Amino acid sequence: MKQKVFRLLADLRFSIFILLLISVCSIVGTIIEQDQSIEIYKINYPLTNPVFGFLSWDRILQLGLDHVYKTWWFLGLIFLFGCSLTLCSFLQQLPSLKIARRSQFFRTTNPFSRLKLSTILNNFSFSRILARIKNQQYSIFQQKNMVYCYKGLIGRIAPIIVHFSMILILLGTIIGSLFGFKAQEIVPKTENFHIQNILTNGPSTIIPKTSARINDFWITYTKTKTISQFYSDLSILDSQGKENIRKTIYVNYPLIYKGVYYYQTDWNLIALRFQNQNQQIIEYPLLNIFGNQNKVWLSWISNNQISNDGIIIIIDNLEGYCSIYNSTGQFLGNLELNETVNFKQPLTLLEIISSTGLQIKTDPGIPMIYSGFFFLMISTLISYITYSQVWMIQKNQQIFIGGTTNRAIFEFELEFFKVVK
């Protein structure tokens, strides 16, 4: 019974069927937004008008289609596929490699007619043809008048390496789903923070209690005043507040500490800091009324609490200045850092307070996944090595010789003709 089950799992058709199921589930996970709030699913997949006539938000939540790659049934399919590859390696690939290493002599001349290439040589030196075969880098085995030769045996290892690499990738995927997490933090400059805003995490994830500090944040601009890059000077702190590591990060250049990646993803402006004539510090908040797609912020400084008299401040960059308009929308000029504006009382612009957006994530399965793809590339190169076999039998004054190969048939024919010409 166990052998039947193992043979079923190791069957190629079963592996292809499981792989197709995984592909279909991955397509579903790509089409349906993953790890979103319930409100988003209620808006996009209403009960009254379900997508495709059956896909509503309640079914999405019941089936776990909002987090496909972390559901038990998706991980179960991956586990089944991994078992199928493992059993196929032990029950089919390894025995096939073991058989390929054996000396497979032809005892009679009948099998030569079934080979791709075969011929009969008359009055030909047996030792001379063996020398020619040896010059073609073949391994030669001889029993009396029978000879078996092969080369390129390493090419037969490629399918085993493919299975091994795919198993590594699947294991890495499962480990990442169980133990990984992703968080998003918006932190003002010079402030400390902990990892709190968790977007996704696995059932066995342990969120690190590491604290960090944003030492500085700045943006560089091109000659056409478009953003070239934005940077965050980030420090990781220990439990006593001492700095463990410090690094300036930018897009696609993260800080890595104990397997946790800190990526630069976004930025925001929070407030403008002014100083009045009495040396008092006043902060006016900035509001982005256009959303994240348009980085434009504005603030209102009122002349008094009763009338609508005041000035509008608009800022869309971190180059150190903002634009001032009156209550009717008339442009009054630009205000730069350390410059004073006379409005109700003299106000000096001290600082534009900004915040940086960080994506914090860890995926302990990534090293295993990368290793799997590395072995997959190695197996691709190895698979191009041709596995060729040649048989010979000397009978009376005749030499029966033939051979076969698994790829590069034309090159094998040329090689064969060099031996027998």
- DSSP for 101-123 reads HS----SSSGGGGGSSEEEEEES
* Residue 305: per-residue pLDDT: 59
> Distance between CA 101 and CA 398 in Å, rounded?
28
**Do 325 and 252 reside in the same domain of the chain?**
no
72-81, 181-190, 231-240, 286-295: segment of lowest average pLDDT: 286-295
> Distance between CA 264 and CA 246 in Å, rounded?
14
156 or 309: which carries more pLDDT confidence? 156
Alpha helices (runs of H) in 263-408, residue ranges in sequence order: 366-383
What is the pTM (predicted TM-score) of this model?
0.69
Indicate whether 294 belongs to any domain. yes
> Distance between CA 180 and CA 203 in Å, rounded?
9
**Do 120 and 90 reside in the same domain of the chain?**
no
Token readout for 57 is 């938000």
Indicate whether 402 belongs to any domain. yes
Task: List the CATH number of the domain containing 143.
Answer: 3.30.160
> Distance between CA 328 and CA 331 in Å, rounded?
9
User: Please, which residues have CB within 8 angstroms of residue 384's CB and are 6 or more apart in sequence?
Assistant: 155, 407
**Do 261 and 205 reside in the same domain of the chain?**
yes
The rounded percent of the chain whose pLDDT value lies above 90 is 17
**Tokens 């510090």 label which residue?**
281
> Distance between CA 235 and CA 222 in Å, rounded?
28
* Residue 225: per-residue pLDDT: 77
> Distance between CA 325 and CA 343 in Å, rounded?
12
Whether the per-residue pLDDT at 306 is higher than 70: the answer is no
**Do 87 and 66 reside in the same domain of the chain?**
yes
**Do 232 and 311 reside in the same domain of the chain?**
no
**Once rounded to an integer, what is the mean pLDDT over residues 25-43?**
85
**Do 8 and 87 reside in the same domain of the chain?**
yes
1-10, 313-322, 328-337: segment of lowest average pLDDT: 1-10
Phi, psi at 141, each rounded to 5°: -125, 135
Q: Own/partner pairs for 324-332, CB < 8 Å, 24+ apart?
A: none
Whether the per-residue pLDDT at 247 is higher than 90: the answer is yes
Range of the domain at 315: 270-349
**Once rounded to an integer, what is the mean pLDDT over residues 91-107?**
79
User: Please, which residues have CB within 8 angstroms of residue 133's CB and are 6 or more apart in sequence?
Assistant: 140, 149, 390, 419
Indicate whether 377 belongs to any domain. no
pLDDT tens digits along 52-64: 777 888 888 888 8
Q: 96, 117, 136: which is the final residue of a domain?
A: 96
- To the nearest whole number, what is the mean pLDDT of the chain? 86
**Do 88 and 137 reside in the same domain of the chain?**
no
**Alpha-carbon torsion (199, 205, 209, 214), positive or negative:** negative
Indicate whether 168 belongs to any domain. no
> Distance between CA 106 and CA 15 in Å, rounded?
35
Indicate whether 159 belongs to any domain. no
Whether the per-residue pLDDT at 339 is higher than 90: the answer is no
**Do 82 and 72 reside in the same domain of the chain?**
yes
**Do 185 and 250 reside in the same domain of the chain?**
yes
Whether the per-residue pLDDT at 307 is higher than 70: the answer is no
pLDDT tens digits along 195-219: 988 888 888 888 888 899 999 999 8
**Do 336 and 322 reside in the same domain of the chain?**
yes
Phi, psi at 202, each rounded to 5°: -80, 165
Q: 31, 62, 96: which is the final residue of a domain?
A: 96
Indicate whether 42 belongs to any domain. yes
> Distance between CA 45 and CA 40 in Å, rounded?
8
Phi, psi at 305, each rounded to 5°: -80, -10
**Do 301 and 334 reside in the same domain of the chain?**
yes
Indicate whether 203 belongs to any domain. yes
**Once rounded to an integer, what is the mean pLDDT over residues 132-157?**
88
**Once rounded to an integer, what is the mean pLDDT over residues 386-407?**
89
Indicate whether 165 belongs to any domain. no
Residue length of the chain: 421
Domains contained in the chain, number: 4
**Do 194 and 263 reside in the same domain of the chain?**
yes
**Once rounded to an integer, what is the mean pLDDT over residues 176-183?**
89
* Residue 360: per-residue pLDDT: 93
